[in-house]
Structure 1
Amino acid sequence: MPRRSGSYRTPREWVAEGSWPDGSFADDSPTAVAYAVEIARRLERSIGDRSKASLAREANIERSTLYDLLSGRSWPDAITIAQLEQALQARLWPDHPVPMLTDRSAGKAESEVPAEGASTTGEAPQAS
């Protein structure tokens, strides 16, 4: 697995006040934290009332990986996101660049403000 340069903290370690993922974040939070927040929010919303253990089995990931992503204890990786998107049939990766956490007005997540022409269902686009 590739290593990041520098000492990256876990996503939730960037929370300055409140709790993950809805708290306020440190002013120097890297852009990656905004993506982790958005993915965690989309993941939680897509899971709904579904069993997390059964989702983890279906996505072929460890249950602890799923809980770590939801709680901000680990960084989402492309393989895990792809497997979860397939199992949920929902888009987890943001469709557009996510604004820095300090740039968000009134704490609105990108997923709460649909892009023009975008689906508001949260479902993955169907192949044509």
Structure 2
Amino acid sequence: MVGGRARSTAPRDLAEDPQAWPHADLEGHVAAAVVQAIAATLAGELAARKLSQRALAALSGVNRQSINDLLAGTSWPDVATIALLESALGGPLWPTIR
């Protein structure tokens, strides 16, 4: 189970170049790579829909700061957060893992 010390480091800080988030190399960090993929997909959806973080917060019921932290890679989002965001956007954010 992921937790404890495994989540004490922000996902972006596991990248070779954290400044490149959400397109940084996260080799060997599967969970952080999933968060990165979710952040990249979410950023793309916001841009495509011309939707602000504040507007998405109102639509989804997810706190705006939580959305900001997810996009910035500074937090580990929980399943409820992802489910609410996916429901508000009407599509998946979670990537297919190969």
TM-score by length of 2: 0.83
User: d(CA) in 2 for partners of 1:41 and 1:90?
Assistant: 14
Query: What does 1:111-122 align with in structure 2 at a 5 Å threshold?
Result: none
In structure 2, the partner of 1:33 is: 32
User: d(CA) in 1 for partners of 2:31 and 2:2?
Assistant: 15
In structure 1, the partner of 2:10 is: 10
Identity of aligned residues (%): 33
In structure 2, the partner of 1:60 is: 61
Give how far 1:63 is off: 0.5
RMSD (CA atoms)? 1.9
Larger radius of gyration: 1
Q: Tell me, which stretches of 5 or more residues in structure 1 are unaligned?
A: 99-128
Q: Tell me, which stretches of 5 or more residues in structure 2 are unaligned?
A: none
Give how far 1:33 is off: 0.8
- Show structure 1 runs of 4+ deviating over 3 A: none
Instruction: Judging by fraction of residues, say which structure has more helix.
Output: 2
The alignment of Structure 1 onto Structure 2 pairs a total of residues equal to 94
